[in-house]
Amino acid sequence: MESVPVIRKLDEVVINRIAAGEVIQRPANALKEMIENSLDAKSTNIQVTVKNGGLKLLQIQDNGTGIRREDLEIVAERFTTSKLTKFDDLSNISTYGFRGEALSSISHVAHLTITTKTATEKCAYKASYTDGKLKAPPKPCAGTQGTQIAVEDLFYNVSTRRKALKSPGEEHSRIADVVSRYAVHNSKVGFSLKKQGETLSDIRTLPNSTIVDNVRTIYGNAIARELLEVQAEDDILKFKLHGYATNVNYSTKKMVFLLFINHRLVDSTAIKKTLEQVYSVYLPKNSHPWVYLSLVLDPRNVDVNVHPTKHEVHFLHEDKVIDRIRAALEEKLLGCNTSRVFYTQARLPESNPVSASRDEQTSSNNITVLPQHLVRTDSSAQKIDKFFKSESSSSEVKSSGDSNLLSDKQLPNKTDSSSASAAEPSEGNRRDIQLTSVLQLRQDIEKSAHKALSDIVSKFTFVGCINPSLALIQHETVLYLCDTAAICEELFYQLMLYDFGNYGLMRFTSPLPVFELAMIALDSEEAGWTEADGAKSELAQSVKDLLMSKAEMLEDYFSMEIDADGNLTSIPLLLDNFSPPIDGIPIFVLRLATEIDWDKEKDCFEGICKETARFYSRIASELGACSSLTPDSLDQPDSEDEQDWKWVIEHVIYAALRKNFLPPKLFAEDATFLQIAKLPDLYKVFERC
């Protein structure tokens, strides 16, 4: 006869480890819990650092209220929280956390270290935890206000869970997705995500930004420019809806849905299904939108205590609330459908899209050219500008030469162009650069080049500028919309690499003090400076010291001269008749010091080339940045600023593309070159009318 199994009470360590597995399923779950704690602590800046997809290190640092010294002893124990005192408080909970399980769960499956400081304490305290218990009394240490939590060797004691996780790259992508979603919803909080040991951030948003700005920074301009604002409110159902959704001009293969209910990141299959039904009327089959919704409900109508990970919530009147969401979205989509833009093809055609059709129509050596295949070949004949009044946008365009974006600290408005041209190296004096790192970077460009797009770029006809960021070009019978900003950055990056060590020289009429440039940059929102970064004067001095120590290399390879007094006296000349917007120099100098990996040659050269390209490409967003450049060799443009930046974009930027530009394959996929019309297809449309 078989013995009856004995029922035993599990050991507390086993219980806690099982519970931890429900709350912390992967690095992204742990990060979500820690981000919510930082937001509950009223943080305005949250920095995330990871290594090996968060498995080796997952660190978050904020500038919130911090944790009291006396609370550090129990902060990692289960069911310890400052946000809940009795069960009835759940009906009116307004914070992210309430169970007091997150840090405890993490400490049972990883090595947990907390460094924190409150506003009233004289120093910070550091404490380490294992299985919810404090290893040793907290030690005083240096630190700024806020909390830093370091999670190391996640799931070191749960081998099956660790083996079941995806690759470090996949886990890093999940972490980036969590940071992206919270950054969009909490636009007033600055977020950053980077891998340990790297200087460049994968994600970085500025404090006091806007939702649309953060969407543009994280998800790209292709989504941000197609957003519709969705709002609804119902006093009876006691809810408010605010969000953004892409219009009918945008679609993607996989739906991206950001849903926050009472500011908590959650999932809702019912709401997602409703959105897909609404968009199915407007989008092609197997196409999906990008949607962000923030739903604020009466806390008494929401049950947040549904799942240990808190990714699900239940709320009253769910069907009626979803119907109101549907109605609000349909109203917006119906309104934009009257002015819908139909993009005929997002990907580029073959290098010679009309040759086949012509061959089919040829029965002898005499080729019959149909009317729909006739194209203009004279670039001087009827540009798009002819059909618009020149004064239509001139009032909106300002020259950077007259702008004062540098506060009270003045910089020269122009460079000495005569010195620049005189210092340009002749063909006979060019150095043959054979540095392995530079050659590898050039090979990377050549490997990623798109053949069909290269053919288009080498033979296009310029149609006209829509604005400083967008232009139209024509290749054979196809019209393309071009993202000038993206093209500029890639163009200048390639010029930096292929002219490496052989740039011309643009010398400033007055030297620019590096220290003052760094101070100006740190005062700007673009720098994202916070008190946690340290005193501005100290940071500016470190920028000056670093660049002065690299002065010889910067001058030899990049034509950036820094004299013995720490003054920037020149920058490289990359294109004739072109100089970058002077207002971008402060942030350029700051990024040279903070965003470059100076220890590895290839990474260093690549970083400097990319930062320089980013600085020079600001023309696409700085109206009239090059208004002072008017050549003598071509017809003199109008004196209006609008004509100046248009002339530079057409005759300098796009003219340079035809020579040696190698457009990457990405440009054929992300709508940098977007086909918007094809003459034979238009004839077919007119024939049906």
**Segment 391-429, tens digit of pLDDT:** 333 333 333 333 333 333 334 333 343 333 335 555 556
Task: Band the pLDDT of 384: cuts 50, 70, 90.
Answer: low
**Segment 345-354, tens digit of pLDDT:** 444 444 443 3
- Closest listed residue to residue 243, CA positions, set 340, 175, 178, 332: 332
- Mean pLDDT calculated for residue range 166-183: 93
pLDDT value of position 530: 86
- Mean pLDDT calculated for residue range 156-175: 87
Task: Examine the pLDDT at 582 and tell me if it is beyond 50.
Answer: yes
Instruction: Provide CB contacts within 8 A for 347, sequence distance 6+.
Output: 668, 669, 675
Helix or strand or coil: residue 404?
coil
pTM to 2 decimals? 0.50
Taking every pair of Cα atoms in the chain, the longest distance, rounded to a whole number of angstroms, is 107
Tokens of 625: 């940045």
**Segment 592-606, tens digit of pLDDT:** 999 999 999 999 999
* Residue that has been written with the tokens 């935890």 in this structure: 129
- In whole angstroms, give the CA distance from residue 244 to residue 382: 39
**Segment 302-344, tens digit of pLDDT:** 765 444 444 556 677 888 899 999 999 998 888 665 444 544 4
pLDDT value of position 580: 87
Task: Examine the pLDDT at 375 and tell me if it is beyond 80.
Answer: no
**Segment 53-103, tens digit of pLDDT:** 999 999 999 999 999 999 998 888 865 554 434 444 444 444 454 445 778
Task: Band the pLDDT of 15: cuts 50, 70, 90.
Answer: low
Measured in whole angstroms, the distance separating CA 170 from the mean position of its chain's CA atoms is: 19
**Segment 109-141, tens digit of pLDDT:** 899 999 999 999 999 999 999 988 899 999 999
- Mean pLDDT calculated for residue range 553-558: 93
- Mean pLDDT calculated for residue range 20-46: 86
Is residue 48 within 8 A of residue 175, CB to CB? The reply is: yes
- Mean pLDDT calculated for residue range 242-267: 92
Task: Band the pLDDT of 164: cuts 50, 70, 90.
Answer: confident
> Where do the DSSP E strands lie in 238-306?
239-246, 256-261, 264-265, 290-297, 302-303
- In whole angstroms, give the CA distance from residue 212 to residue 231: 15
Write down the mean pLDDT value for the chain: 79
Task: Examine the pLDDT at 380 and tell me if it is beyond 60.
Answer: no
**Segment 597-651, tens digit of pLDDT:** 999 999 999 999 999 999 998 865 554 333 333 333 333 334 445 557 888 899 9
- In whole angstroms, give the CA distance from residue 635 to residue 652: 14
Is residue 490 within 8 A of residue 484, CB to CB? The reply is: no
The fraction of the chain above a pLDDT of 70, given in percent, is 73
Between 670 and 293, the more confident residue is: 293
pLDDT value of position 684: 53
Helices (H), 352-434: 355-360, 417-422
Using the CB atoms, write b or e for 559-572: b if 16+ within 10 Å: bbbbeeebbbbbbb
Instruction: Provide CB contacts within 8 A for 144, sequence distance 6+.
Output: 63, 117, 124, 531, 532
- Closest listed residue to residue 508, CA positions, set 561, 584, 548, 552: 561
- In whole angstroms, give the CA distance from residue 508 to residue 410: 13
pLDDT value of position 450: 92
Tokens of 520: 């100006």
Between 479 and 384, the more confident residue is: 479
The fraction of the chain above a pLDDT of 90, given in percent, is 47
